[in-house]
Amino acid sequence: MLALGPAESADESLKALNFILEAWEEGTGSGIAPEMMAYAALYAALTDLVAAFGEESVISLVQGLAPRVEKGEFTLYRSRQ
């Protein structure tokens, strides 16, 4: 596999995200609940990551997500009380 520089890597990441967002729109537009799309996307991502990097690496990645979720990194909308 060819190593990508920072600019190419960012371009590839943006292109990949756009493909995912298009599929998401198509799925939710067809009546699939967003949480079902999320579960399917997580399953697909985790199975691909395990195949590419192995279970131990994916376990480390997943364990590192908890503090990021707690800090609100993935919270797009905050409710105010």
Over range 12-17, report the average pLDDT. Answer: 94
Task: Sort 3 into a burial class: Cβ within 10 Å, 0-12 / 13-18 / 19+.
Answer: exposed
Mark 30-57 as b/e (b = at least 16 C-beta within 10 Å): eeeeeeebeeeeeeeeeeeeeeeeeeee
- The band of 1, judged by pLDDT with boundaries at 50, 70 and 90, is very low
Q: Is the pLDDT of residue 81 over 60?
A: no
For the chain, helix (H) and strand (E) counts, in that order, are: 3, 0
Please give the C-alpha separations between residue 9 and each of 12, 22, 32, 49, in angstroms, as whole numbers.
Answer: 5, 20, 31, 17
Over range 21-25, report the average pLDDT. Answer: 96
pLDDT in tens, 31-68: 999 999 999 999 999 999 999 999 999 999 999 999 99
- The band of 9, judged by pLDDT with boundaries at 50, 70 and 90, is confident
